Chains A and B, each alone.
Chain A
Amino acid sequence: MNFQLTKEQELVRKMVADFAENEVKPIAAEIDVTEEFPMENVQKLFRYGVMGMNMPKEYGGAGADDVAYAMAVEELAKKCAATAVIVAAHNSLACWPILKFGTEEQKQKYLTKMTSGTIGAFCLTEPEAGTDASAQQTTAVLDGDHYVLNGNKIFITNGGVADVFVVMAMTDPSKGNKGISAFIVESSFPGFSRGKVEDKMGIRASSTTEIIFEDCIVPKENLLGAEGKGFNVAMATLDGGRIGIAAQALGIAQGAQDELVAYVQQRVQFGKPISKFQNTQFQIADMEARICAARWLVYDAAYKKYLSSQGQKISYGKESAMAKLFAAETAMAVTTKVVQLHGGYGYIKEYPVERMMRDAKITEIYEGTSEVQRMVIAKNVIK
């Protein structure tokens, strides 16, 4: 048993923390209001190797391990949850399935781009297929050397800015889950278009849109994995993706706690800083313990995913579900309490904690609601 971080992990944390402090924090409040996608920072994150950081060097990645990745997302989320999810969706939901299930040609073609400036996204959810992914209505019909895709996907993170999409579509609607296939779709393919841009409660600077396929022509060689194996691709991707969201939630919680610790030492009431009141101390203590517990759940899941990527026969589906469930509920609980302890100042936009509270909510919903996580965990426990 060894809880020691590697030197590389420590430096990744330091580097991303520096970046978040100097580049992300100064614009976080503004882009929350304007909903402007932080393209400049995202391009810098490509340059510094954070976008696509887990991809192997031969595809232009940094070859970083999964714990370092979780730490990077955590550090970004401390200052801006929107920036964190842009990175998480790109790395976990777009790059990873191509690396895991792609052919060598697909990896060469797409991953080299996705480590050097091209943003990726993942399309599973549909108006009628949320938690029940098997209710997919987007279809893909093989026509000679290409598939023709029809349907629309909603709530797609990075939807407005991505140029490479991993898309789930039914190749055989009669087979349910087993009729789903995964495709790599470029935004330049004929019949691809972006639809409605969502106006969200939180993570407002991230781009969440509808993606529409109208007789969209996808070359046959862009089938990702075998035909009919799309559900497996999606579920495996989400198993890993949950670690990114768990890390995002952890970062939001820690960021709120950091704000609170600074605030309670400044804020004087009844003649003393409110940090001197036992209620403040106890609440901070409870939150600290909970955040630390969440951290180890997240790192444990990330570490197991790393071991799995190194060829060890180890599963991490339960761990990532637990990490996401616990970290997301921690983020929501912590930010709510932090707003409360800020009093009126917590409710106004001059302080970042109201944004953090709005941002925290989505972590209980996307990439599997907390209820889905409980289902996954229970299924792994009750066998």
Chain B
Amino acid sequence: MKIIVCVKQVPDTSGKVAVKPDGTLDRASMQTITNPDDLNAVEAALKLKDETGCEVIVVTMGPPPAEGMLRELLARGADRAVLISAREFGGSDTYATSQIIAAAIDHMGLENDDIVFCGRQAIDGDTAQVGPQIAEKLGLPQVTYAQDIKKDGDSLTIQRALEDGYMTIKVKTPCLITCIKELNEPRYMSVGGIYEAYEKPMEVYDYNLLKDNPLIDVNNIGLAGSPTNILISFTPPQKGAGQMLEGADQATCDKLAGILAEKHII
């Protein structure tokens, strides 16, 4: 049994976000982090590893520096890491990306008791699309928005979050599950894990390795293989400055309430 966890390195949008004058994101000036939902996916896998002793493989597609993130996940307890990296893969949208990752998973070989975990969505694009699209390419059943996972043999019972509750879903392995932050509390790296992280295997899957995989259509990868195009990106205008009220006492509050009443909004 093995668990493959798909992860993404993303700019930390909770910090200061830098936008260049042309409206594109100044990625160079931003910190990168492991996508938060993906950490819940890794934790879900590590919990199953604690229970069953299965192998946990973390996979990402990205530029070579993404290796640093993979090492951190090895330091949390993953056993192996795979970095999918090639110039030909650059500019892929979710459709093209899911195809490449599905091919990589297919290359590793998916067996009957294997599970693929993903985070629900990445904080840079917030699309939540790559997980289900990998499942479709691999022909796997999917359960998204998992907030609770119980494993019993080859059967998983999953609580899938809805806006006003949840559904309980039963699914058999192999399957793909996307995880939300309510699922668990991700563990930290451990000191021992850190010192082992640089000794664990890190494989790089490049274009040549994957191009002949049956799930890959070489015309459907990278920018050219992406059905969607960005027409334009832009920064929204900042709302005009309001007014700072003087003081912070009862008179200030009375004045504010007066204005609101005058505008008929209370």
Contacts and interface: CB of A to CB of B under 8 A. Distances in A.
Interface of A: 7-8, 11-12, 14-15, 18-19, 47-50, 53, 57, 61-64, 68, 72
B193 interface: yes
B72 interface: yes
A53 B191 CA distance: 7
Given A53-B191, A61-B192, A62-B192, 10 more contacts: A8-B195, A11-B72, A11-B75, A11-B194, A12-B191, A48-B189, A48-B191, A50-B191, A63-B195, A68-B191
Contacts of B198: 7-8
Interface in B187-216: 187-195, 197-198
A99 B112 CA distance: 47
B120 interface: no
A68 B193 CA distance: 14
A7 B191 CA distance: 12
Contact of B189 (A11, A57, A63): A11
By Cβ-Cβ distance, the 8 closest A-B pairs, closest first, are A49-B191, A62-B191, A62-B192, A15-B189, A49-B192, A49-B190, A11-B194, A53-B191
B248 to A, nearest CB: 13
A53 B188 CA distance: 15
Nearest to A11: B194
Contacts of A64: 191, 194-195
B160 interface: no
Nearest to A51: B191
A285 to B, nearest CB: 23
A57 B191 CA distance: 11
Interface of B: 71-72, 75, 187-195, 197-198
Contacts, number: 50
Nearest to A15: B189
Nearest to B189: A15
Contacts of A63: 192, 195
B188 A18 contact: yes
A374 B9 CA distance: 49
Tell me if A's interface is mostly helix, strand, loop or mixed: helix
Given A11-B194, A63-B195, A19 B75 contact: no
Contacts of A62: 190-192, 194-195
Nearest to A64: B191
Contacts of A8: 194-195, 197-198
B195 to A, nearest CB: 6
A15 B191 contact: yes
Contact of A72 (B191, B193, B197): B191
Contacts of B75: 11, 15
B9 to A, nearest CB: 14
Given A62-B195, A64-B195, A7 B190 contact: no
Contacts of B189: 11, 14-15, 48
A309 B59 CA distance: 37
Interface centre among A11, A47, A72 (most CB of B within 10 A): A11
Nearest to A72: B191
15 contacts: A7-B71, A7-B198, A8-B195, A11-B71, A11-B197, A12-B194, A48-B188, A48-B189, A48-B191, A49-B192, A49-B193, A62-B194, A64-B194, A64-B195, A68-B191
Contacts of A53: 191
A48 B71 CA distance: 16
B192 A57 contact: yes
B147 to A, nearest CB: 21
Contacts of A14: 72, 189
Contacts of A61: 192
B188 A15 contact: yes
Interface centre among A7, A48, A63, A64 (most CB of B within 10 A): A48
B194 A19 contact: no
Contacts of B192: 49, 57, 61-63
Contacts of A7: 71, 198
Nearest to B197: A11
Contacts of B195: 8, 62-64
A98 B229 CA distance: 64
Contacts of A47: 190
Contacts of B190: 15, 47-49, 62
Contacts of A11: 71-72, 75, 189, 194, 197
